[in-house]
């Protein structure tokens, strides 16, 4: 113990006596550790940290799988059959839900409401903290409407009042009693604020209406593979029983945590890998610094050895020094990571799941501790072995030799730089590929324009709440009237050029619904949904398309061009024949050699209105779902004829004015027309930008890591070359005395630097080719082996490294030839 | 003027002053010196008297602070850096006390170096290197590295490197200073052979025995030439 204490004191003194070295080493390591820890915090919080429910590993999510292997949400009858037949689950539940406007609290607001079947809370193992949960009495059709509220909603809109019976909340024209409050931070699924019993609503009958998200909790005995096998068997049996009437032929089951994070997993692993590489590059610099240090301490080591220190003693000394260095760096790294995590959480795209569980918590600190110990041991052993190996004795003897040491004695430092350059190259290629992907996405023609458009997102009460009973014409007319009035008054706002709306806005998440339609002749119109489904068995008259409700100016505001026929207009009233516009993709797919105008289609499964739609025009394709996916076949209907799906309705206002003034005016108008309708405003440019948020986030981080690695690598090669030039002063002097010109010397030093760079780049290219395949899912429009990126990165790295070598090379040309005469 | 009477080097009133930390060191004062083609001249004197300084100026490694220096009839003061480099490469051969072979290069590559900097063709280089190494008796060690040779052998290689470019004059600064007497004598024999075959040599030494190998001995004291002796066996 006493010896360790001496070693420690000695190490601290060593570091204090070399403040420049200590500062650079500690900062470099702290940067690497901090960045790695920050990213690890996110990876841990999002991917690894167990869900905060009891026995979270038992909670699973389930999907139907169709014969083509596509995963789909459940159709309710399939769920019911599955629940009855399966033994693997302690509880299994279906949930649906939507954003609704709620009034009755302190202010009207829009929240996510989940419709949950009986065992929902049993699956999650959560129960209310105030009031009570759903009783069997609540969970039947025709029961008195009740709901549970989230802790946040209770606090914000109900004042946290203990007496819940006072509150009646109105949503979708139902008046609900509040019976309980869920625990703080519980908002499953998807930021839910209100939970309503499934059984309050009439059951679904279709086995092809995939409306329900299903979760389950495995029994203590059931394993995931067992459950999977059992579900597949059940699905298979149901398929045999129902044939064409069901899509499900198998089932998919995945742990809930994995299901929640599957989307972001590749990106997070990419970031973790990238930051790991940055750490390696940082460590390489530190290793080289330590190497130079130990060379400078050869005399000290020789004296210690002469005084009887054996190799163990020397190695221990190096280890202690390394522990002190890494320990300080680790501590600074934790501080840096705390800022880094705050920054990451602030910058992260909003759709990153579980962002709230990201923090520098105990497991993260444990990670830092392990990382620091690992680095200490690795760096300590590395320097100790280098410094006490025969190599150094040779170097010690070198002074007494008559020839001049050349670059070969720095082979080790150069090897480190090669590794560093290769790693940096891989990072740069990754960043380059992500950057090119973003450029490719941005250069996609979306089929619509985004400038000068303000969007106002509304959530009207559902018109189809009483399905299968359809809303009355009066109800529909009232909705149309409300929207018309809103449009009219918005058009009067100064600076507003045009106003339109629809249930879908391109690039807005989940706003597109789709389904199968029928191509029928007039007179073939089915009389019921059952008829519709029977007709659907004939593939020659069926098709699949997105279904969008829109107003007449929707296309003009968004700049979607009319290719044939006409837009919606005043003719398209509630009683007139229902009009439809189709996009070019659908026209090309369904009527490649025919004029689609005048054709009639049946799409009544979308909103229950079985009247045929007559195609009156063809419009340009718009990338509704994302910039990265080809436009799907799309059918647009007029909101005045088909107002049923206007629950979520997005008004788009074209204006050259600053958005703020238009938003203020629109808010005022809306309050006047319907005070219980809270709007969300965004410019369409913001919508567009946030659809690229995760791409930008990944690019920004990988780019930052690559830039940092590039800087470190440049410093690394500079350091090695400068050190080499310093050690070769005499050799360079001799060469100059013998007639080497400045050009010769420059070439000599740069050649060496470039040689090192070339090896690094070559290994880097090989490494990139091996690794970039792993990020293929994050690329768009560019191959993982994109030659342009490789070439550009190679050039960049070569240029930076050339510049880093040029400074010591210039110094080398100024070596005095008199060095050759010096003899010591 | 030079070539007519065979004068290779002419110095008039050459001075060298070093300025370090406000201290002026007058390393050389009023040096007058003429060296003719084919002469073997030794420079002797106590430590610090300016021998190396004189040699470095003679070898264009350094410039005088005053006075004039003509090399082969050309006033050196007017030369640009690159011209000086060129002359060092083509007309002067250096032999150092510390040998100064480059450890990472083989014997062959070390000797080849001046020719490489001159831009000679590969075949010419090969032939000349071979020749030079034969003259110093080291042709059998082409692929060796300096560390694999004895001190005497290393200095022979260094002599070959000085010779290889057919310089007008060889400059040697204590070429035996790092050698034992046996090896030292071998190197001196080598220089004498070269001299017999027509080489012009300018050598710094403080060993009187070796000074006697030369035609002419110059003695420096405190930066001035104090004495000059012509040996009996003066050259042809
Ligand atoms: N670069 C320099 N800067 C300052 N003073 C120098 C420099 N080079 C030489 N001197 C000084 O000039 C004087 C002559 O030095 P020089 O090296 O020529 O001596 P020397 O005769 O070769 O000695 P030695 O026999 O020890 O090699 C000395 O006083 C020395 O200190
Ligand atoms: Mg000297």
Q: Calculate how far, in angstroms, residue B53's C-alpha sits from the geometric centre of ligand 1.
A: 6
Is the pLDDT at A511 greater than 70, yes or no?
no
- How far apart, in whole angstroms, are the C-alpha atoms of residue A753 and residue A804? 9
Q: Which ligand is nearest to the CA of B44?
A: 1
Is the pLDDT at A161 greater than 50, yes or no?
yes
Closest residue by Cα to residue B182 from B211, B150, B208, B141: B150
Is the pLDDT at B15 greater than 90, yes or no?
yes
- How far apart, in whole angstroms, are the C-alpha atoms of residue A8 and residue A739? 51
* Strand partners for A546: A514, A634
Three-state DSSP class for A254? strand
Quick check: A333 contacting B, CB < 8 Å? no
Tokens encoding A690: 């946030």
Tokens encoding A329: 């760096």
Residue nearest to atom 2 of ligand 1 (CA): B18
Which stretch of A340-349, A494-503, B212-221, B225-234 has the lowest confidence by average pLDDT?
A: B225-234
Whether the Cβ atoms of residue A820 and residue B96 lie closer than 8 Å to each other: yes
Residue nearest to atom 12 of ligand 1 (CA): B27
Closest residue by Cα to residue A642 from A479, A433, A822, A460: A479
- How far apart, in whole angstroms, are the C-alpha atoms of residue A815 and residue A390? 31
* Strand partners for A195: A114, A148
Cβ-defined contact of A820 to B82 (cutoff 8 Å):
no
| Rounded alpha-carbon distances, angstroms, from residue A744 to A739, B118, B124 | 9, 10, 20
- How far apart, in whole angstroms, are the C-alpha atoms of residue A16 and residue B220? 50
Residue nearest to atom 8 of ligand 1 (CA): B53
Q: Distance from A408 to chain B by nearest Cα, in Å?
A: 7
Q: What angle do CA A130, A136, A142 make, to 5 degrees?
A: 105
Three-state DSSP class for A514? strand
Q: Distance from A23 to chain B by nearest Cα, in Å?
A: 32
Pairing of strands A403-404, B66-71: unpaired
Is the pLDDT at A208 greater than 50, yes or no?
yes
Closest residue by Cα to residue A709 from A284, A109, A123, A353: A284
Q: Calculate how far, in angstroms, residue B52's C-alpha sits from the geometric centre of ligand 1.
A: 7
> How many other β-carbons are positioned within 10 Å of the β-carbon of residue A745?
22
Q: Which residues of A touch B118 (CB under 8 A)?
A: 739
Q: Read off the pLDDT of each residue in A599-617 and give the average, rounded to a whole number.
A: 89
Average pLDDT of the residues of chain A: 88
Is the pLDDT at A399 greater than 70, yes or no?
no
Q: Read off the pLDDT of each residue in B26-38 and give the average, rounded to a whole number.
A: 93
Q: Which residues of A touch B167 (CB under 8 A)?
A: none
- How far apart, in whole angstroms, are the C-alpha atoms of residue B41 and residue B216? 5
pLDDT in tens, A331-387: 999 999 999 999 999 988 887 888 888 888 899 999 999 999 999 999 998 888 777
pLDDT at A232: 92
| Res. A604 pLDDT band, cuts 50 70 90 | confident
- How far apart, in whole angstroms, are the C-alpha atoms of residue A292 and residue A20? 13
Element (H, E) at A616: strand A613-619
* Most distant CA pair in chain B, distance: 53
Q: Distance from A820 to chain B by nearest Cα, in Å?
A: 7
B20 C-beta closer than 6 A to ligand 1: yes
Is the pLDDT at A295 greater than 80, yes or no?
no
DSSP state of A57: G
Residue for token pair 């948020």: A693
Q: What percent of chain A has a predicted confidence (pLDDT) above 70?
A: 95
Tokens encoding A730: 């005499």
pLDDT at A467: 55
Closest residue by Cα to residue A323 from A10, A8, A17, A14: A8
pLDDT at B235: 42
From the alpha carbon of B49, which atom of ligand 1 is closest? 21
Quick check: A406 contacting B, CB < 8 Å? yes
- How far apart, in whole angstroms, are the C-alpha atoms of residue B219 and residue B236? 23
Q: Which residues of B touch A405 (CB under 8 A)?
A: 103
Cβ-defined contact of B96 to A823 (cutoff 8 Å):
yes
| Rounded alpha-carbon distances, angstroms, from residue B176 to A737, A818, B154 | 20, 19, 11
B25 C-beta closer than 6 A to ligand 1: yes
Q: What angle do CA A585, A586, A592 make, to 5 degrees?
A: 90
Q: Calculate how far, in angstroms, residue B225's C-alpha sits from the geometric centre of ligand 1.
A: 15
pLDDT at A728: 86
Q: What angle do CA A150, A154, A155 make, to 5 degrees?
A: 120
Q: Which residues of A touch B55 (CB under 8 A)?
A: 821
From the alpha carbon of B174, which atom of ligand 1 is closest? 27
- How far apart, in whole angstroms, are the C-alpha atoms of residue B179 and residue B150? 10
**Count of alpha carbons within 13 Å of B162, Cβ hemisphere only?**
31
**Count of alpha carbons within 13 Å of B224, Cβ hemisphere only?**
4
User: Long-range contacts of range A786-795, CB-CB < 8 Å, 24 or more positions apart?
Assistant: A786/A432, A786/A433, A786/A436, A788/A436, A789/A429, A789/A432, A789/A433, A789/A436, A790/A429, A790/A765, A792/A432, A793/A425, A793/A428, A793/A429, A793/A432, A794/A425, A794/A761, A794/A765
Tokens encoding B137: 């008796």
Q: Calculate how far, in angstroms, residue A670's C-alpha sits from the geometric centre of ligand 1.
A: 95
- How far apart, in whole angstroms, are the C-alpha atoms of residue A234 and residue A216? 16
Choosing from B50, B63, B98 the residue with most ligand 1 atoms within 8 A of its CB, the one to mutate for a pocket test is: B50
Q: Read off the pLDDT of each residue in A764-785 and give the average, rounded to a whole number.
A: 90
Q: What percent of chain A has a predicted confidence (pLDDT) above 90?
A: 56
Q: Distance from A816 to chain B by nearest Cα, in Å?
A: 8
Task: Report the sign of the C-alpha dihedral through residues A156, A161, A163, A166, in that order.
Answer: negative
Whether the ipTM is more than 0.95: the answer is no
| Rounded alpha-carbon distances, angstroms, from residue B4 to A86, A378, B90, B92, B131 | 117, 72, 21, 20, 30
Is the pLDDT at A746 greater than 90, yes or no?
yes
Is the pLDDT at A23 greater than 80, yes or no?
yes
Task: Report the sign of the C-alpha dihedral through residues A542, A543, A544, A550, in that order.
Answer: negative
Is the pLDDT at B4 greater than 60, yes or no?
no
Pairing of strands B101-102, A403-404: parallel
Q: Read off the pLDDT of each residue in A210-214 and give the average, rounded to a whole number.
A: 90
Task: Write the burial class of residue A276 (CB in 10 Å: 0-12 exposed, 13-18 middle, 19+ buried).
Answer: middle
Task: Write the burial class of residue A236 (CB in 10 Å: 0-12 exposed, 13-18 middle, 19+ buried).
Answer: middle
Is the pLDDT at A402 greater than 70, yes or no?
no
B46 C-beta closer than 6 A to ligand 1: no
DSSP string, A312-323: HHHHHHHHHHHH
Secondary structure string (H, E, C) spanning A736-762: HHCCCCHHHHHHHHHHHHHHHHHHHHH
- How far apart, in whole angstroms, are the C-alpha atoms of residue A439 and residue A789? 13
Is the pLDDT at A305 greater than 90, yes or no?
no
pLDDT at A426: 94
| φ and ψ of A713, to 5 deg | -65, -40
Closest residue by Cα to residue A414 from A748, A732, A757: A757
| Res. A393 pLDDT band, cuts 50 70 90 | very low
pLDDT at A408: 53
Q: Which residues of A touch B174 (CB under 8 A)?
A: 823
pLDDT at A375: 94
pLDDT at A401: 44
Mutate one of B20, B103, B175 to test the A interface: name it (highest A CB count within 10 A): B103
* Exposure b/e, B100-135, CB count within 10 A at least 16 = b: bbbbbbbbbbbbbbbbbbbebeeeebeebbbebbeb
Task: Report the sign of the C-alpha dihedral through residues A232, A238, A241, A246, in that order.
Answer: negative
Tokens encoding A59: 């909670």
The pTM for the full model equals 0.84
Whether the Cβ atoms of residue A340 and residue A36 lie closer than 8 Å to each other: no
pLDDT at A392: 45
Tokens encoding B155: 């200095």
pLDDT in tens, B150-204: 888 999 999 999 999 989 899 999 898 888 888 888 889 889 988 998 889 999 9
Choosing from B15, B16, B17, B18 the residue with most ligand 1 atoms within 8 A of its CB, the one to mutate for a pocket test is: B18
Is the pLDDT at A107 greater than 90, yes or no?
no
Tokens encoding A305: 């050895």
DSSP string, A382-422: HHHHHHHSHHHHHHHHHTTSSEEP-GGGGHHHHHHHHHHHH
Closest residue by Cα to residue B195 from B138, B152, B233, B155: B233
pLDDT at A461: 84
pLDDT in tens, A549-591: 999 999 999 999 999 999 999 899 888 999 999 999 999 999 9
DSSP state of A460: P
| Res. A793 pLDDT band, cuts 50 70 90 | very high
Q: Which ligand is nearest to the CA of B223?
A: 1
From the alpha carbon of B50, which atom of ligand 1 is closest? 18
Quick check: A405 contacting B, CB < 8 Å? yes
Pairing of strands A71-72, A403-404: unpaired
Three-state DSSP class for A479? helix
Query: Closest partner residue to B82 among A730, A735, A741, by Cβ?
Result: A741
Choosing from B49, B208, B211 the residue with most ligand 1 atoms within 8 A of its CB, the one to mutate for a pocket test is: B49
| Rounded alpha-carbon distances, angstroms, from residue A601 to A292, A727, B224 | 79, 84, 115
């Amino acid at each position: 113990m006493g010896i360790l204490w001496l070693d420690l004191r000695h190490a601290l003194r060593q570091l204090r006596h070399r403040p420049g070295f200590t500062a650079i080493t500690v900062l470099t390591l702290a940067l690497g550790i901090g960045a790695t820890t920050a990213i690890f915090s996110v990876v841990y919080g999002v991917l690894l940290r167990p869900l905060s429910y009891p026995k979270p590993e038992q909670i699973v999510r389930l999907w139907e799988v169709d014969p083509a292997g596509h995963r789909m949400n459940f159709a309710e009858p399939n769920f019911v059959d599955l629940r009855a037949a399966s033994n693997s689950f302690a509880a299994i539940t279906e949930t649906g839900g939507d954003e609704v406007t709620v009034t009755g609290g302190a202010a009207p607001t829009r929240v996510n409401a989940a419709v949950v079947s009986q065992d929902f809370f049993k699956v999650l193992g959560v129960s209310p903290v105030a009031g009570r949960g759903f009783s069997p009495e609540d969970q039947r059709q025709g029961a008195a409407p009740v709901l549970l509220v989230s802790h946040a909603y209770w606090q914000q809109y109900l004042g946290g009042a203990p007496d819940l019976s006072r509150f009646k909340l109105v949503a979708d024209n139902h008046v609900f009693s509040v019976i309980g409050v869920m625990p703080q931070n519980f908002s499953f699924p998807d930021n839910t604020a209100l939970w309503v019993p499934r059984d309050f609503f009439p059951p679904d009958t279709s086995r092809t209406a995939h409306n329900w998200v299903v979760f389950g909790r495995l029994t203590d005995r059931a394993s995931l593979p067992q459950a999977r096998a059992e579900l597949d068997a059940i699905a298979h049996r149901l398929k045999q029983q129902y044939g064409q009437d069901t899509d499900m032929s198998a089932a998919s089951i995945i742990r809930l945590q994995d299901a929640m994070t599957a989307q972001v997993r590749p990106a997070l692993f990419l970031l973790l890998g990238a930051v790991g590489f940055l750490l390696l590059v940082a460590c390489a610099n530190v290793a080289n610094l330590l190497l130079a240090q130990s060379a400078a301490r050869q005399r000290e080591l020789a004296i210690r050895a002469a005084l009887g220190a054996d190799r163990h003693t020397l190695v221990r000394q190096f280890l202690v020094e390394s522990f002190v260095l890494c320990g300080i760096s680790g501590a600074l790294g934790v501080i840096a990571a705390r800022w880094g995590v705050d920054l990451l959480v602030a910058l992260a795209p909003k759709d990153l799941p579980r962002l709230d569980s990201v923090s520098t918590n105990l497991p993260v600190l444990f990670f830092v501790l392990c990382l620091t110990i690992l680095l200490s041991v690795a760096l300590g052993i590395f320097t100790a072995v280098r410094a006490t190996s025969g190599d150094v004795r040779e170097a010690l003897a070198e002074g007494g030799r008559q020839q001049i040491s050349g670059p070969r004695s720095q082979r080790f430092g150069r090897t480190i730089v090669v590794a560093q350059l290769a790693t940096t190259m891989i990072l740069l290629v990754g960043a380059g590929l992500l950057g090119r992907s973003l450029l490719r996405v941005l250069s996609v023609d979306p089929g619509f324009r985004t400038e000068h458009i303000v969007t106002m997102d509304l959530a009207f009460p559902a018109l189809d709440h009483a399905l299968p009973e359809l809303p009355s014409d009066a109800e529909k007319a009232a909705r149309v009237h409300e929207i018309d009035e809103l449009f009219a008054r918005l058009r009067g706002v100064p600076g507003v050029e045009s106003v339109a709306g629809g249930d879908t806005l391109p690039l807005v998440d989940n706003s597109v619904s789709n389904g199968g339609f029928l191509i029928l002749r007039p007179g073939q119109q089915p009389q019921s949904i059952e008829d519709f489904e029977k007709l659907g068995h004939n593939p020659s008259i069926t098709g699949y398309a997105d279904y969008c409700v829109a107003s007449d100016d929707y296309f003009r505001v968004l700049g979607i061009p009319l290719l044939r026929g006409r837009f919606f207009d005043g003719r398209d009233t509630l009683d007139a024949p229902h009009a439809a516009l189709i996009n070019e993709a659908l026209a090309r797919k369904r009527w490649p050699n025919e004029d689609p105008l005048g054709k009639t289609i049946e799409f009544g499964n979308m909103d229950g209105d079985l009247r045929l739609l007559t195609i009156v025009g063809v419009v340009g394709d718009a990338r509704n779902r994302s910039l990265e996916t080809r436009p799907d076949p799309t059918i647009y209907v007029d909101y005045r004829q088909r107002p049923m799906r206007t629950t979520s309705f997005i008004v788009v206002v074209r204006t050259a004015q600053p958005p703020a003034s238009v938003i203020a005016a629109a808010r005022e108008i809306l309050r006047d027309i319907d005070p219980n309708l809270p709007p969300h405003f965004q410019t369409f440019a913001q919508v567009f930008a946030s659809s690229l948020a995760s791409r930008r986030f990944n690019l920004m981080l990988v780019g930052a890591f690559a830039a940092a690695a590039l800087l470190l690598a440049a410093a690394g090669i500079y350091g090695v070359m400068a050190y080499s030039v310093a050690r070769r002063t005499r050799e360079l002097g001799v060469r100059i005395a013998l007639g080497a010109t400045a050009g010769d010397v420059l070439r000599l030093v740069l050649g060496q630097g470039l040689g090192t760079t070339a090896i690094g780049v070559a290994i880097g290219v090989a490494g990139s080719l091996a690794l970039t395949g792993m990020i293929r899912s994050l690329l768009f429009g560019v191959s993982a082996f994109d030659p342009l990126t490789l070439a550009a990165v190679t050039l960049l790295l070569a240029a930076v490294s050339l510049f880093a070598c040029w400074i010591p090379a210039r110094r080398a040309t100024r070596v005095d030839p008199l060095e050759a005469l010096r003899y010591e | 003027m030079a070539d007519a009477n065979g004068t290779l080097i002419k110095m008039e009133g050459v001075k060298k002053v070093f300025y370090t930390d406000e201290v002026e060191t007058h390393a050389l004062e009023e040096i007058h010196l003429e060296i003719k083609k084919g002469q073997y001249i030794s420079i002797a004197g106590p430590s610090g008297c300016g021998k190396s300084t004189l040699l470095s100026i003679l070898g264009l490694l350094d410039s005088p602070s005053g006075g004039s220096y003509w090399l082969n009839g050309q006033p050196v003061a007017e030369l640009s850096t690159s011209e000086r480099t060129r002359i060092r490469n083509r007309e002067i051969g250096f032999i150092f006390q510390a040998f100064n072979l480059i450890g990472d290069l083989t014997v062959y590559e070390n000797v080849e170096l001046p020719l490489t900097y001159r831009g000679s063709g590969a075949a010419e280089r090969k032939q000349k290197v071979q020749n030079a190494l034969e003259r110093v008796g080291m042709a059998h060690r082409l692929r060796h590295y300096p560390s694999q040779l004895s001190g005497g052998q290393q200095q022979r290689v260094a002599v070959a490197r000085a010779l290889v470019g057919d310089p007008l004059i060889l400059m040697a600064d204590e070429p035996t200073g790092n050698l034992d007497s046996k090896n030292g004598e071998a190197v001196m024999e080598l220089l004498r052979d070269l001299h017999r075959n027509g080489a012009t040599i300018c050598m710094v030494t403080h060993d009187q025995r070796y000074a006697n190998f030369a035609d002419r001995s110059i003695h420096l004291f405190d930066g001035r030439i104090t004495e000059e002796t012509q040996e009996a066996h003066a050259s042809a």
